[in-house]
């Protein structure tokens, strides 16, 4: 290796004026230890950005290789070859093939799994034929040796013509050596692994001259991929189409030929490099474990047990830190309000800080859910989940992996939508994200409990079946059925932009790498707080303003009126305050909104008071209870029984109880279906990188809510 002999003076002397920044791209098969290596190299110095024009996150990080060389490491999506099969994988060719791109890397680090060298080298030979400066980071050499595969590093390096660094990305071994190689000025590899067919030469030459390319294989890649390369202009695509047509270029056949030729070449070169001295090891540990974990009965029992555990965790365990955050925000606001006064202070406390609290409150759930998901992914169990659930979920246009977001959605749609990231297929992922908010989340519980307590009698059947409990369960079930049917509907409507494959590596079981688990949690929390958080805070402030201000002097008049009423009815000071708040909410912009939409919601059985609650529920559904308390002058007591008793006394125009079963069920059904959650909309926008999806969700779910609530009210009336 040239590594040790190269003097360090060269780079240091070269860049005195300005520290050099090199771009290094990490590329490799899925499960080849790429993410571990990325985490080892960059640690917490990671940031998530965008690749231009696609929904794929661009993960990059910085390291200081030497005092004078700083490197940006870009983590590219895992891929098996340079012919992209999914939208995510297109990022790789867009990045590497655009000669004008400022993003194109100075060095490529190819990660490969030593225990599966043959398949991992396919991608490497393609990259090498592009003559890009490259290093091969050979991972899991220890695993390969345990399986009886011995790799001669010297010989491999000679055969490949690039530096080979044996490493163990999990333990961090070999990272130092890799960093040293990264500081070297590596020349492009000169070895070609695939001899291009001579009959293609005229075509390749004309492609090369048109686009100013110097590499034959790159020209061939253009010929195969011209329709999907983002940077090609329309006329270039048209020109390419004509050229290929007249040359009689058959992309599928040529690609097949190339792949077979590459495998043949790889088999040849590995003959001298790899020595296999193992007996037939079919009864591997992973296989034995699979006999239990994917068993007909135990497999599902264990999986649903795990789901139950996850659900418990985000439902019950997360409530302790969430209560602490709630309390902290309330105390902070109380502290500020007791020391300062004025409308700006109100804006700060009840608008901004309360909005921030609404963002922070999600962190425990996101952290806990992603701790579980990262462990499931790391251990390889997630692949088994997909394997076991695929047949059922596929019928509804979902993916085996959709089970996790759907179940998590029962606790909260926000982390659930984020967890749909594990679904590789674009269409499956979009459908999952779209239907997840239909699952009844924990924020709907306060609404359900108050309304059920109001209209469903507390009777028991067979001594233990509580009718109220049964109704609650029915509501959850309706949400689930709605999600599944909507998924099925979308499956029919949505055009797939890519063919859906299930063909994937079935990884062996491994111990989770805790560093990766930790970094996943940090990454997800950061993504939520900084990207979705902005929108949530902004809309919370707007909603607060709408409920706290009214046009002109309406607030003063509301207060006056309340004071007059208080005098006439002989209310106490506390009751007077409550009455003022009630009248002011009525006169606020939110109150006006409620009155304005009354004609629209009347067919559902609602009046303008409920209209206000529908609007304020946008901040979070549980706000419904608070708004109802204010508007019906119930006061600050957050006791379900008190609220229930007060609401039960509300009469309609005919003197009948206003919250009749028809109205209450109509409301429950409305809250079940409606998209009334800014946080979910914000996270869907973040995950899909477009406003189209959250807008479609808002329209679809709210439309569905309207229709279903209408039917419910008209049937029960």
If one asks whether residue 503 binds another protein (CB under 8 A), the answer comes out as yes
Point out which residues pair with 165 in neighbouring strands.
137
116-145 residues in contact with another protein (CB under 8 A) are: 116, 118-119, 122
Strands 460-461 and 465-466: antiparallel
Binding residues for GTP: 28-35, 53-57, 75-78, 139-142
Distance CA 591, CA 582 (A): 10
Residue 654 interacting with another protein (CB under 8 A): no
Nearer to another protein by Cβ, of 292 and 485: the residue is: 292
Nearer to another protein, 85 or 179 (CB): 85
**Binding segment toward another protein, per CB under 8 A, in 115-123, 206-214, 559-567, 601-609:** 115-123
Scan for tokens 């569905």, then name that residue.
704
- Confirm or reject binding of residue 383 to another protein (CB under 8 A): yes
Task: Label residue 657 exposed, middle or buried (CB < 10 Å: 0-12, 13-18, 19+).
Answer: middle
Considering only 8, 257, 458, 556, the residue that binds another protein (CB under 8 A) is: 257
The answer to whether 219 touches 202, Cβ cutoff 8 Å, is: no
The values of phi and psi at residue 144, to 5°, are: -60, -40
Closer CB to another protein, residue 142 or residue 390? 390
Q: Which ranges in 588-691 belong to alpha helices (H)?
A: 589-601, 608-616, 623-631, 640-649, 661-673, 678-688
Q: Which of 127, 160, 356, 388 binds another protein (CB under 8 A)?
A: 388
Residue 249 found at the interface with another protein (CB under 8 A):
no
> Is residue 253 involved in binding another protein (CB under 8 A)?
yes
When asked if residue 502 is in the footprint of another protein (CB under 8 A), the reply is: yes
Stretch that binds another protein, among 252-260, 370-378, 450-458, 649-657 (CB under 8 A): 252-260
Of 304, 317, 501, 691, the one binding another protein (CB under 8 A) is 501
- Residue window 167-186: x/- pattern of binding to another protein, with contact defined by CB under 8 A: --------------------
CA distance 437 to 420: 12
Cβ distance to another protein smaller for residue 79 or 688 = 79
Residue 574 near residue 618 (C-beta atoms within 8 A): no
Write phi, then psi, for 385 (nearest 5 degrees): -60, -50
Nearby residues of 60 by Cβ (< 8 Å), 6 or more positions away:
46, 47, 49, 72, 73, 74, 75
Of residues 384 and 663, the one with the C-beta less far from another protein: 384
Count how many Cα atoms sit within 13 Å of the Cα of residue 614 in the half-sphere of its side chain. Answer: 29
Q: Could you tell me the smallest distance in angstroms from the CB atom of residue 145 to another protein?
A: 14
CA dist 93 and 513 (Å) reads 30
The residue count for binding another protein (CB under 8 A) is 40
Nearest to 416 by CA among 677, 669, 671, 54: 677
Distance from chain centroid for Cα 58? 13
| Pairing verdict, β 107-113 and 20-28 | parallel
- In 3D space, the residue among 160, 123, 204 whose CA is nearest the CA of residue 1 turns out to be 160
496 forms part of the interface with another protein (CB under 8 A): no
Q: Segment near another protein (CB under 8 A), from 324-332, 452-460, 496-504, 622-630?
A: 496-504
Among 13-21, 385-393, 571-579, 583-591, the segment contacting another protein (CB under 8 A): 385-393
Near another protein by CB under 8 A: residue from 239, 311, 387, 706: 387
Residue 231 makes contact with another protein by CB under 8 A: no
Exactly one of 237, 301, 392, 596 binds another protein (CB under 8 A); that residue is 392
641 exposure class (CB count in 10 Å sphere: 0-12, 13-18, 19+):
exposed
Residue 252 is a binding residue for another protein (CB under 8 A)? yes
Give the x-and-dash track for 67-86 against another protein (CB under 8 A): -------------xx-x-x-
Q: How far apart are CA 566 and CA 136, in angstroms?
A: 81
Q: Which positions make up the binding site for Mg(2+)?
A: 39, 42-43
Interacting residue ranges for another protein, rule: CB under 8 A: 80-81, 83, 85, 115-116, 118-119, 122, 252-253, 255-257, 259-260, 263, 282, 286-287, 290, 294-296, 299-300, 383, 387-388, 390-392, 499, 501-506, 508
């Amino acid at each position: 290796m040239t590594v040790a002999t190269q003097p360090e003076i060269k780079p240091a002397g070269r860049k005195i004026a300005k520290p050099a920044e090199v771009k290094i791209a990490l590329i490799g098969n899925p499960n080849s230890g790429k993410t571990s290596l990325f985490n080892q190299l960059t640690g917490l110095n990671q940031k998530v950005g965008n690749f231009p024009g696609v929904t794929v996150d661009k993960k990059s990080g910085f390291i200081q290789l030497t005092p004078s060389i700083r490197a940006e490491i870009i983590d590219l999506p895992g891929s098996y070859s340079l012919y992209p099969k999914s939208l995510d994988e297109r990022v790789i060719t867009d990045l590497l093939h655009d000669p004008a791109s400022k993003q194109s890397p100075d060095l490529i680090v190819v990660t490969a799994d030593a225990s599966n060298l043959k398949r991992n080298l396919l991608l490497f030979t393609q990259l090498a034929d592009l003559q890009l400066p490259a290093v091969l980071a050979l991972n899991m050499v220890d695993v390969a040796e345990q399986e009886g595969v011995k790799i001669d590093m010297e010989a491999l390096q000679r055969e490949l013509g690039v530096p080979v660094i044996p490493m163990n990305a999990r333990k961090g071994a070999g990272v130092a050596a890799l960093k040293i190689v990264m500081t070297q000025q590596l020349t492009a590899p000169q070895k070609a692994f695939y001899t291009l067919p001579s009959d293609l030469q005229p075509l390749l030459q004309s492609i090369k001259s048109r686009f100013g390319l110097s590499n034959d294989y790159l020209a061939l890649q253009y010929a195969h991929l011209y329709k999907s390369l983002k940077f090609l202009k329309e006329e270039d695509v048209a020109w390419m189409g004509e050229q290929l047509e007249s040359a009689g270029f058959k992309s599928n056949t040529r690609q097949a030929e190339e792949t077979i030729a590459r495998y043949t070449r790889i088999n040849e070169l590995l003959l001298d490099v790899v020595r296999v001295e193992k007996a037939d090891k079919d009864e591997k540990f992973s296989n034995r474990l699979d006999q239990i974990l994917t068993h007909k009965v135990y497999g599902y029992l264990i999986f649903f047990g795990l789901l139950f555990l996850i659900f418990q965790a985000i439902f019950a365990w997360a409530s302790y830190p969430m209560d602490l955050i709630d309390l902290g925000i309330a105390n902070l606001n109380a502290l500020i309000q007791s020391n300062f006064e004025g409308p700006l202070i109100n804006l700060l406390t009840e608008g901004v800080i309360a909005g921030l609290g609404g963002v922070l409150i999600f962190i425990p759930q996101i952290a806990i859910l992603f701790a579980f998901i990262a462990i499931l992914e790391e251990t390889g169990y997630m692949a088994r989940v997909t394997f076991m659930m695929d047949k059922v979920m596929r019928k509804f246009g979902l993916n085996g992996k959709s089970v996790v977001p759907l179940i998590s959605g029962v606790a909260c749609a926000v982390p659930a939508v984020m967890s749909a990231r594990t679904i590789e297929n674009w269409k499956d992922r979009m459908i999952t994200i779209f239907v997840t908010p239909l699952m009844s989340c924990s924020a709907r519980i306060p609404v359900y409990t108050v309304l059920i307590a109001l209209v469903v009698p507390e009777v028991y059947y067979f001594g233990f079946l509580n009718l109220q409990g049964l109704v609650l369960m029915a509501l959850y079930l309706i949400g689930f059925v709605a999600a599944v049917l909507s998924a099925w509907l979308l499956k029919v409507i949505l055009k797939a932009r890519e063919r859906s494959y299930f063909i994937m590596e079935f990884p062996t079981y491994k111990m989770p790498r805790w560093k990766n688990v930790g970094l996943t949690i940090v990454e997800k929390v950061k993504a939520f707080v900084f990207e979705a958080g902005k929108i949530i805070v902004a809309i919370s402030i707007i909603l607060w303003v709408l409920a706290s201000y009214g046009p002109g002097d309406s607030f003063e008049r509301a207060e006056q009126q309340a004071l007059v009423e208080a005098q006439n009815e002989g209310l106490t000071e506390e009751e007077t305050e409550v009455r003022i708040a009630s009248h002011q909410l009525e006169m606020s912009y939110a109150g006006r909104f409620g009155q304005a939409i009354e004609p629209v919601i009347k067919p559902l059985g609602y009046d303008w008071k409920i209209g206000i609650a529908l609007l304020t529920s946008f901040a979070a559904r549980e706000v419904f209870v608070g708004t109802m308390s204010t508007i019906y002058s119930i006061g600050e007591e957050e006791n379900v029984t008190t609220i229930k008793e007060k609401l039960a006394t509300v009469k309609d125009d005919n003197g009948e109880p206003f919250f009749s079963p028809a109205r209450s069920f109509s409301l429950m059904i409305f809250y079940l279906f409606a998209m009334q959650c800014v946080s979910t909309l914000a996270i869907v926008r973040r995950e899909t990188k477009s406003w189209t999806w959250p807008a479609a969700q808002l329209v679809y779910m709210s439309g569905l809510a309207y229709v279903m609530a209408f039917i419910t009210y008209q049937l029960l009336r």
